[in-house]
A and B are shown apart, each in its own frame.
Chain A
Amino acid sequence: MARKMSGRHVRWGLLDLLVVIYALFPVVWIASLSLKTTATLADGNFIPRQWSLDSYQQIFQTDQFVRSLINSIGIAVISTAIAVVLAILAAYAIARLDFPGKKALVAAALLTAMFPQVSLVTPLFEIERRLGLFDTWLGLIIPYIAFALPLAIYTLTAFFQQIPWDLEKAAKTDGATQAQAFQKVIVPLAAPGVFTTMILVFIFCWNDFLFAISLTSTERARTVPAALSFFTGATQFEDPTGATSAAAVVITIPIIVFVLLFQRRIVAGLTSGAVKG
């Protein structure tokens, strides 16, 4: 019995390892490139022969990267906050209330999610230029919210639908107003869903390249993914591979921190014990 179990464990372990290697290989490669010296960049060794932090020093010395990092953080955080708050309200309404046009709203949200973003770039560019939003934070925040909302609404609706409706009824008969029932009973229980959604939306905003490259032109609002493509080497003839890799590693860190910070909150079974088991 024990041997059988361990055999199965080994097989699963090998499979897991394969997946992890497959997923992490590009990441490790980039990390490796970022740690090489300029001279050894293309020497074909996966593990650097000569370790150096030059690339990191280089990117933080340039105003270009630091500015774009600030832009990225600011734009992603603001977009996430607004999108998630709006999505909570919308998802709650969809999950709990019956109102005219509910189906239309859900369909419209789905439609937005399916719309090819690239087809909107040119019109958005024109609109933003005329409104003076081009190359501003707001110019990116607005489309990010628009495209993150469908995803956020769908995720949160699923979470809200899992919360037993009886809890809300109980809160109401216990003397709560609709708003109090929502705030004191539903929101705390929806927290895992809210955090999951926050992570998804944040990653979406953080990773976006298309809008970031199209709707910005200077360091005023350019985010890191876009800024990376503008990296140049120390001289015209030098390849910025090392700097680009270092920047890529740096911008991965906030995502990891964000996920680690909130994954504790994403615990399943927070609602256990509310209703019969």
Chain B
Amino acid sequence: MADVVLDKVTKRFDDGTIAVKEVDLQIADGEFVILVGPSGCGKSTLLNMIAGLEDISSGELRIGGQRVNDREPRERDIAMVFQSYALYPNMTVRENIAFPLKLAKIDKATIDKRVNDSAKLLELTELLDRRPANLSGGQRQRVAMGRAIVRSPQAFLMDEPLSNLDAKLRVQMRTVVARLQKQLGTTMVYVTHDQTEAMTLGDRVVVLRGGAVQQVGKPQALYDNPTNIFVAGFIGSPSMNFLHASVADGMLRTAVGDLPVGRRMQKMLEAPDVPDELVMGVRPEHFLDADLVEGQDLGPGVQFESTVDLVESLGSDKFVYFTIEGASASAAELEELAADTGDTAMLSGSNLTVRFPAESTATAGQPHRIWLPLNRIHLFNPATGRNLTLHDGIAAGVASD
């Protein structure tokens, strides 16, 4: 087991495209780190660079304190699980799992013991003499993991290991992965494009976009305090609502009403590099059902009324959809996000997704009153994407002094 340090690691392909841009990352011994981002963000390339399957163009990679830039994959003592599982079809499950040990020239008795131990851990004992072709997707996935854990490597690298499984199995395997990592205490770097996996699995999450790190932090911190509009839109499901907001007379003019702005925010907005047209972001659960919170002291906020388009009841909660008239929010990063997720609703700026408690009386076709607390509003600079409401890394809303 070892720590993994990336020091300004960059990948430049021969045709000049930069897939990974000066990534700095310190992964502690035994830590579970998730690399997440839309497709093409460089997360798999980065993982392949750690594994030694891709050259590092510049920067330094250290595993266990040693520079490994120029070492072959086999000299790095890491194990990798592939999205496609990459099992050797000409070998049985036992031979597949034993393969790394055989290459390491370990004696046969030890190999047998360790293969059996790994198989037991992953409930593969019954399947040891089958070939990959005769296994289900979930079983193949477990064999791939068995092959990784069997030689107790310094670190595990997982490249979207669950994305080929069906939804139910994926949730099941997610817990298997999490438990395995805790049990073995091995450093793990896990790549996924699924923000739910990222939120639920990792000790820390690294959000990548266009080869550059956007934000690194604990899942909850990323959710609560996104540093930019990209992280805000990417993390969370359903995603954050984005509305157009313009600064006028020290107020924020938005489609849900004019919002007062706190003193610190005011100063921020007066800075020369901050445009007058901004993007406001609010998470679905931060809108409150005005009927339900009547009379409670909620701090500063605004109330507005809108007609309910649709109500989706999940039992525990209700997703309520509204249409808000007004200019749509626009930012390059939002367009990129929408293109990647296929969620164009994010772009239109007129649709609002709101999460109300189950006891809400919101009914489709009826107007409903909504309370929006000002301390829950994020404000983004559409040019740079930066979250203007962050103060010392903590999102403080627009009304903060």
The reply to whether B133 and A272 form a contact with Cβ atoms under 8 Å apart is yes
| A275 in contact with B86 given A172-B74, A173-B78 (CB within 8 Å) | yes
Instruction: Give A184 to B95 CA distance when docked, in angstroms.
Output: 12
Which A residues are CB-close (under 8 A) to B103? Answer: 174-176, 180
The reply to whether B164 and A173 form a contact with Cβ atoms under 8 Å apart is no
Q: Mark B82-100, 1 if CB is under 8 A from A, else 0.
A: 1111111110000000011
Nearest CB on A from B228, distance (A)? 33
The reply to whether B89 and A173 form a contact with Cβ atoms under 8 Å apart is no
The reply to whether A173 and B51 form a contact with Cβ atoms under 8 Å apart is yes
Instruction: Give A53 to B140 CA distance when docked, in angstroms.
Output: 60
Contact of B74 among A177, A184, A189 (CB under 8 A): A177
Which B residues are CB-close (under 8 A) to A138? Answer: none
Which B residues are CB-close (under 8 A) to A276? Answer: 84-85, 137, 140, 164
The reply to whether B74 and A175 form a contact with Cβ atoms under 8 Å apart is yes
| Chain A 234-277 residues near chain B, CB threshold 8 A | 269-277
Q: A132 in the interface, Cβ–Cβ < 8 Å?
A: no
Instruction: Give A277 to B140 CA distance when docked, in angstroms.
Output: 11
Q: B373 in the interface, Cβ–Cβ < 8 Å?
A: no
The reply to whether A189 and B86 form a contact with Cβ atoms under 8 Å apart is no
Interface bracket on A: 20 to 34
The reply to whether A275 and B84 form a contact with Cβ atoms under 8 Å apart is yes
| Chain A 174-207 residues near chain B, CB threshold 8 A | 174-177, 180, 184-185, 188-189
Which B residues are CB-close (under 8 A) to A70? Answer: none
Which B residues are CB-close (under 8 A) to A172? Answer: 52-53, 72-74
Instruction: Give A188 to B91 CA distance when docked, in angstroms.
Output: 10
Contact of A274 among B73, B78, B132 (CB under 8 A): B132
The reply to whether A273 and B134 form a contact with Cβ atoms under 8 Å apart is yes
Which B residues are CB-close (under 8 A) to A189? Answer: 89-90
Contact of B80 among A173, A177, A185 (CB under 8 A): A173
Q: A166 in the interface, Cβ–Cβ < 8 Å?
A: yes
Interface bracket on B: 20 to 34
Nearest CB on B from A28, distance (A)? 41
Which B residues are CB-close (under 8 A) to A171? Answer: 88, 99
Q: B147 in the interface, Cβ–Cβ < 8 Å?
A: yes
Nearest CB on A from B97, distance (A)? 10
Instruction: Give A167 to B78 CA distance when docked, in angstroms.
Output: 16
Which B residues are CB-close (under 8 A) to A93? Answer: none
Nearest CB on B from A126, distance (A)? 45
Which B residues are CB-close (under 8 A) to A270? Answer: 89-90
The reply to whether B137 and A277 form a contact with Cβ atoms under 8 Å apart is yes
Instruction: Give A271 to B86 CA distance when docked, in angstroms.
Output: 10
Which B residues are CB-close (under 8 A) to A174? Answer: 74, 79, 99-100, 103, 147
Nearest to B150 among chain A residues (CB) is A174
| A273 in contact with B72 given A164-B84, A173-B80 (CB within 8 Å) | no
Q: B104 in the interface, Cβ–Cβ < 8 Å?
A: yes
Contact of B88 among A175, A177, A185, A277 (CB under 8 A): A185
Which A residues are CB-close (under 8 A) to B134? Answer: 273
List 4 tightest A-B contacts by C-beta distance, closest first: A273-B133, A273-B132, A275-B84, A166-B86
Residues on A facing B (Cβ under 8 Å): 164, 166-167, 169-177, 180, 184-185, 188-189, 269-277
Extra A-B contacts (8), CB below 8 Å, given A175-B74, A276-B137: A166-B82, A167-B86, A172-B53, A172-B72, A184-B99, A270-B89, A271-B89, A272-B89
A-B contact pairs, 17 of them (CB 8 A): A166-B84, A167-B86, A167-B88, A169-B51, A170-B86, A172-B52, A173-B74, A174-B99, A175-B100, A271-B89, A272-B89, A272-B133, A274-B84, A274-B132, A276-B85, A276-B140, A276-B164
